Amino acid sequence: MALNRAVTRDWSRRRAAKRERLEAVRPFTTGRVLDAGRIGDALHALLRPGDRVALEGDNQKQADFLAEALAGCDPGVVHDLHLLISSISLREHLDVFERGVARRLDFSYAGPQSVRMAQLLDDGKVEVGAIHTYVELYARMFVDLIPDVVLLCAEQADRQANLYTGPGTEDTPTIAEAAAFHDGVVVVQVNELVDHVPRVDIPGDWVDLVVPSPRPFALEPLFTRDPRRIGQVEVLMAMLALRGVYERHEVTTLNHGIGYDTAAIELILPTYGEELGLRGKICKHWTLNPHPTLIPAIESGWVTSVHCFGGEPGTERYVAARPDVFFTGRDGSLRSNRVLCQLAGQYAVDLFIGSSLQIDACANSSTVTEGRLAGFGGAPNMGHDPHGRRHASPAWLSLLTGEAPALRGRKLVAQITQTFRAGGVPAFVESLDAVQVGRDAGMPVPPIMIYGDDVSHVVTEEGVAYLYKATSLAERREAVSAVAGATPVGRGVDERRVEALRRDGLVALPEDLGVDVRRAGRPLLAARSVEDLVAWSQGLYDPPARFRTW
Amino acid sequence: MTSAPTPPTGWAAMLARASFIELDARARATALLDAGTARELCGPFDRIESPWLEPQGVVPASDDGVVVVKGELGGRPAVVIGIEQAFQGGGIGEVSGVKIATALSLAARDSRDGTPTVAVLLLETGGVRLQEANLGLATVAEVCSALLELRALQPVIGVIAGALGCFGGMSIAAGLCTRLIMTAESRLGLDGPEVIESEAGVAEFDASDHTLIWAVDGGTQRTRTGLADTLVLDDVAAIRSAVLEATAGGVPAEHRSRRIGELRARLEAVDPGDPPEPAALAAVWARKPPPGDVR
């Protein structure tokens, strides 16, 4: 049988297109350096209608100069773009749609712009492909969402366009790789051009164009929690989590969310945890950003290693001075990487613990509430039991599941929340707002953050529910109700049933865990203010101005 | 097994301190007095609550957020009046204001009757409680008047320890105190940053700019420019010893608030059209030599 080669196909159309694009911007460049003053003209020359463009909007850092330039494009020339943005944080990210420059959007998280996002969707200004988790969106950049042009940011570039990102490497290498190795165009705004970068975070031959930005890229201290705002209820929940989850399951590898609840856990390790003799037994290896509230635990010898998704403003000198704990480059500063840390958070940690805005009786949870389309970020990725895991650990094995011979352990996925949020809003609800929001937005499935069947533990000020022990959905619902306090969900379970659940080990109240509620107070916090964190760091932590009260 | 590492001295001292502001008002008042001498007056079990809060949907407090404790300070009769910042942001209402004013008046009466009684005010307050508007304002006037009555006889010491600070009407009371003790985290001002921003615009004062706020209102600046007297660490022992030292100073010949000439000279030294940077203010004022604290 002869192979049919009737048509001679051109196998390098993307390469040719890239060459054309770069040729078109040549008038605005000197070598690979793009004139910042001509950025508008350059984008008009570079972009084609319908292009798929990845705009670096990370969880923390933003390619804001390029975002502004993109939003300023003439929709008569540049239109119908398909944008890929992991975190929609800036006004300009959505201006692009309002002005008709872009039409289609795939994203992960829209927290700061969630209200406007919902409005634009309502007005038909934006077509959302899907809302992803971070790694999921990046994964698709290598499969069916390969970008034509990527707009990134870095701290410095040298003459060969080698990039230095500093501590906030975050997503840049991943997005760059998706474009650089599939004939996409890589454009990077840099804070400065230098002769030599302190270290190479992204090799220059991945980079096509560098533009010195007139101002440093925007960077938010998202992971700083002021210990002053931690109250006794958070401390109580931290005590319950420590005894009822961490100690009981010997959790050594973990990820924490960014709430005050988990900050409280970090801050009672050197006090309550020390008292319980748990140092060296739990909480040794972490995947999380350099949380300032972790400093006391690090300084008192609890923490062996921390791998980070991104940096955190103010922690640069501290991290650089603790290279045994953090991943640092030859320049001494932190090297972060969101995708690798998400991967670590998915496969290599035994526990994910975080809080949501709403939890239903089946333990499904969501941060999507009425009129807000916030998206997912990274939580669902870490907040699930990955069936691809094969290595065992005591914590994983303590949740033994499956039928022989397919016995396996399970990841601990804990939700921690007060039964009521600020203003008396119940955290436990009959139906998640996400269900309605998903219906209104025409989403194929409701935007649930963490699925109830992935949740192994729920921690509230009432106690701990061990959902992994539930043998039926009805039992799971009862266990959730038992710790849901006076919320509509909590009122649905009677006292005798709760007694039975305690006997069967599905629910533990503070007294069942040996937690003395009277001790739940701020004196248990190893640091009670940002000044205390500075003191713990021996002056190495430089809190951002907004957290300073002196 | 290794023992928990301890930070070096300095930072260790900072971490080892017993924070004053972490205590509630009752514990703060008690901690300042000589051990075993504290006795609360008009306490929560007397249930003197504000009648104005419940109708407005606010749960009242049985002490209305002000704690009056009598006892001894360095062996001398003393009354410590503490404002609880956790209740309504330390806001002063009709009842809490009258508690302060009455405590100061009674101390004045005792002082005249042969039992000299010093007073210490713990001023963690945003000023008058909005829910009690005019009644709150009226009681602040009573507080100031009672303070003036007592300070002529015995020292009245103000302490501002926390980041909440002392603002509004009660900042006037702070200004009338014989001596004022502040921490670096504490703040003192007539109008709070949010009030200035909402009244005069963000260009006038950016209430989100912590650096600016503390450069103007912070304890370090207030002490440096002579509007407060002593800058202390937020530490029970340090604050108690500062209070003891301040009471030992007795009644000055002329209180800060009476040094009108000096205050006027300070106003004249500043051009409102081209105000100095906060850091330069102390130097600007130093060029108009103040007469100093005459005792």
- What would the 3-class secondary structure string for A218-276 be? EECCCCCCCHHHCCHHHHHHHHHHHHHHHHHHCCCEEEECCCHHHHHHHHHHHHHHHHC
A336-382 pLDDT, tens digit each? 999 999 999 999 999 999 988 899 999 999 887 777 788 888 999 99
Is B38's pLDDT higher than 70? yes
User: Which pLDDT belongs to residue B10?
Assistant: 76
- pLDDT category of residue B288 using cuts at 50, 70 and 90: low
Residue of chain B with shortest Cα separation from A297: B4
Please check whether residue A159 lies inside any domain of the structure. yes
Give the domain CATH number at A127: 3.40.1080.10
Task: Kindly determine whether residue B210 and residue A549, on different chains, have CB atoms separated by under 8 Å.
Answer: yes
In a domain, A426, yes or no: yes
pLDDT grade, residue A473 (50/70/90)? very high
Q: What is the pLDDT of residues A224-249, one digit of tens each?
A: 999 999 999 999 999 999 999 999 99
Same domain, A280 and A314: yes
* Segment (H or E) for A296: helix A295-299
Q: Within this chain, do residues A195 and A269 fall inside the same structural domain, yes or no? A: no
What is the distance in angstroms between the Cα of A229 and the nearest Cα belonging to chain B? 12
- Say if residue A255 is in the same domain as residue A288: yes
Decide if B18 touches A, using CB distance below 8 A. Answer: no
Structural domain includes residue A2: no
**b/e map B119-145, b = 16+ CB within 10 Å:** bbbbbbbbbbbebbeebbbbbbebbbe
> With b meaning 16 or more CB within 10 Å and e meaning fewer, what string describes A281-314?
ebbebbbbbbbbbbbbbbbbebbeebbbbbbbbb
Cα separations in angstroms, B224 against B218, B264, B281: 10, 18, 9
Residue A516 lies in a domain: yes
Of A400, A483, A415, the closest CA to residue A451 belongs to A415
Report DSSP letters for A125-136, one per residue. --EEEEE-BHHH
Measured CA to CA in angstroms, residue A485 lies from A45, A353, A450, A457, A476 at distances of 60, 20, 21, 16, 16
How do residues A143-175 score in pLDDT, each as one tens digit? 999 999 999 999 999 999 999 999 999 999 999
> Do A190 and A238 share a domain, yes or no?
no
For position A320, what pLDDT does the model report? 97
The pLDDT score that the predictor gives to residue A73 is 97
Strands of the A365-366 sheet, one edge to the other: A365-366, A358-360, A428-429
Asked if B267 is an interface residue toward chain A (Cβ–Cβ < 8 A), one would say no
The pair of three-digit structure tokens given for residue A308, joined into one six-digit string: 């980070």
Which of the four pLDDT bands, split at 50, 70 and 90, describes residue A438?
A: confident
Task: Say yes or no: A180 and A258 in one domain.
Answer: no
**Cα–Cα separations (whole angstroms), residue B89 to A127, A411, A550, B30, B64:** 46, 43, 19, 21, 12
Q: From the CA of A284, how many Å to the nearest CA of chain B?
A: 15
B81-95 pLDDT per residue, tens: 999 999 999 999 999
User: CA–CA separation, B216 vs B206, rounded Å?
Assistant: 12
Contact A364, A195 (CB under 8 A): no
Residue of chain B with shortest Cα separation from A547: B210
When CB atoms are compared, the residue of A301, A532, A548 closest to B210 is A548
Kindly compute the dihedral angle of the four CA atoms of residues A26, A28, A31, A36, in this order, to the nearest 10 degrees. -150
The answer to whether position A193 is within a domain reads: yes
CB contact (8 A) between residue A549 and residue B163: yes
Residues A290 and A401 in one domain: yes
pLDDT, average across residues A517-524: 96
Q: Provide the pLDDT for residue B293.
A: 46
Cβ atoms A363, A353 nearer than 8 A: no
Tell which of A219, A243, A278 closes a domain: A219
Chain A residues in contact with B216 by the CB 8 A cut-off are none
A491 and A343, same structural domain?
yes
Angle at the Cα of A363 from the Cα atoms of A358 and A368, rounded to 5 degrees: 30
**Residue B5 pLDDT > 60:** no
Please answer yes or no on whether B210 and A531 come within 8 Å at the CB atom.
no
In this structure, are A183 and A242 located in the same domain?
A: no
Integer Cα distance of B256 and A59 in angstroms: 52
Find chain A residues with C-beta within 8 A of B209's C-beta.
Answer: 545
Query: Which residue range is the domain that position A214 belongs to?
Result: 15-219
Element (H, E) at A62: strand A61-62
Identify whether the C-beta of residue A108 lies closer than 8 Å to the C-beta of residue A134. yes
**For position A371, what pLDDT does the model report?**
75
Q: Do residue A207 and residue A75 come from a single domain?
A: yes
- In the predicted structure, residue B274 carries a pLDDT above the cut 60: yes
Give the separation between CA B219 and CA B214, rounded to whole angstroms.
8
Q: Do B185 and A279 touch (CB under 8 A)?
A: no
Q: Around A158, how many Cα atoms within 13 Å sit in the side-chain half-sphere?
A: 14
- Chain A interface residues facing chain B, Cβ-Cβ under 8 Å? 228, 270, 274, 279-280, 299-301, 522-523, 528-529, 531-532, 535-536, 538-539, 545-550
pLDDT per residue as tens digits for the range A186-197: 999 999 999 999
Q: Is B40 on the interface with A (CB under 8 A)?
A: no
Domain boundary (A171, A198, A219) is at A219
pLDDT at B245: 97
Is B185 in CB contact (< 8 Å) with chain A? yes
Coil, strand or helix at A188: strand
Decide if B163 and A270 are in contact by the 8 Å CB cutoff.
no
Number of domains forming the structure of chain A: 2
Beta bridge partners of A418: none
Which of A219, A236, A255 is the last residue in one of the domains? Answer: A219
Of B179, B143, B167, residue with least CA distance to B256: B179
Structure-block tokens of residue B19: 């924070």
Looking at residue B171, its pLDDT comes to 97
Of A301, A522, A550, the CB nearest to B4: A301
Q: Using CA atoms, how far apart are residues A544 and A308, in angstroms rounded to an integer?
A: 19
Query: In sequence order, which residues have a C-beta less than 8 Å from that of residue B157 and are 6 or more positions away?
Result: B118, B119, B120, B121, B177, B178, B179, B180, B181, B243, B246, B247
Q: List, in order, residues 6 or more apart from B62 with CB less than 8 Å away.
A: B44, B45, B46, B47, B48, B49
Interface check for B59 against chain A (CB to CB < 8 A): the answer is no
Looking at the structure, tell me whether residues A341 and A417 fall in a common domain.
Answer: yes
CA dist A444 and A442 (Å) reads 6
Report how many Cβ contacts below 8 Å link chain A to chain B: 52
Residues of B in contact with A539 (CB under 8 A): 11
Q: Is residue B2 pLDDT above 50, yes or no? A: no
Question: Residue A123 has what DSSP assignment?
Answer: T
Among B56, B60, B79, residue whose Cα is nearest residue B156:
B79
C-alpha A64/C-alpha A483 separation (Å) is 44
Q: Tokens 């921490």: give the residue.
A: B183
Q: Say whether pLDDT at A483 is over 90.
A: yes
Query: Which residue in chain A has the smallest CA separation from B11?
Result: A535
Q: Is residue A291 part of a domain?
A: yes
Q: Count CA atoms closer than 13 A to A181's CA, side-chain side.
A: 10
Q: Is the N-terminal amide bond of A405 cis, ω within 30° of 0? A: yes
CB-CB neighbors (< 8 A) of B11 in chain A = 535-536, 538-539
Given pLDDT bands bounded at 50, 70 and 90, which one contains residue B4? very low
Spatial contact of A172 and A152, defined as CB atoms under 8 Å apart: yes
DSSP-based three-state secondary structure for A367? coil
Query: Helix, strand, or coil here: B148?
Result: helix
Which pLDDT tens digit goes with each residue over A263-272? 999 999 999 9
Q: What are phi and psi of A464, to 5 degrees?
A: -120, 130
ipTM of the complex: 0.84
CB burial readout A375-386, b (16+ within 10 A) else e: bbbbbbbbbbbb
DSSP code string of A442-500: T-SS---SB-GGG--EEE-SS-EEEGGG-SSHHHHHHHHHHTSTTSTTGGGS-HHHHHH
Q: Pick the range with the lowest mean pLDDT from A1-5, A131-135, B200-204, B217-221.
A: A1-5
Whether A173 is covered by a domain: the verdict is: yes
Phi/psi of residue A410, nearest 5 degrees: -150, 145
List, in sequence order, every beta strand (DSSP E) within chain B. 39-41, 66-73, 76-83, 118-122, 156-160, 179-183, 230-232
Whether A180 and A244 map to the same domain: the answer is no
In a domain, A289, yes or no: yes
Domains of chain B as residue ranges with CATH: 18-252 (3.90.226.10), 259-295 (no CATH)
Q: Is the predicted pLDDT of residue A321 greater than 60, yes or no? A: yes
DSSP for B84-131 reads: -TTTGGG-B-HHHHHHHHHHHHHHHHHHHTT---EEEEE--B-SB-GG
Name, in order, each residue with C-beta under 8 angstroms of B138's C-beta and a sequence gap of 6 or more: B94, B97
Q: Which residues of B touch A549 (CB under 8 A)?
A: 163, 185, 210, 214
Is residue B184 within 8 angstroms of chain A, CB to CB? yes
Lowest mean pLDDT segment, chosen from A99-103, A445-449, A479-483: A445-449
Residue A2: pLDDT band (50, 70, 90) is: low
A128-137: average pLDDT = 94
Residue B8: pLDDT above 90? Answer: no
User: What is the rounded average pLDDT for all residues in chain B?
Assistant: 92
- Nearest CB partner across the interface for A538, out of B1, B2, B8: B8
pLDDT higher than threshold 70 for residue A3 = no
Whether A430 and A471 have beta carbons less than 8 Å apart is answered as no
B54-74 burial, b for 16+ CB within 10 Å, e for fewer? Answer: eeeeeebbebbbbbbbbbbbe
Same domain, A430 and A395: yes
What is the DSSP track for A142-166? Answer: TTT---SEEEEEEEEE-TT--EE-T
Question: pLDDT for A385-434, tens place per residue?
Answer: 999 999 999 999 999 998 999 999 999 999 999 999 988 899 999 999 98
Collapsing DSSP to helix, strand or coil, A53 comes out as strand
**Subunit contact B211:A548, Cβ cutoff 8 A:** yes
Q: Would the pLDDT of B289 be above 60?
A: no
| Whole-number pLDDT of residue B145 | 98
Integer Cα distance of A124 and A132 in angstroms: 20
Which residue of A lies nearest to B164 if distances are taken between CA atoms?
A549
* Alpha-carbon span B16 to B18, nearest angstrom: 7
Q: pLDDT value at position B6?
A: 42
B19 near A CB under 8 A: yes
Paired residues of A164 in beta bridges: A156
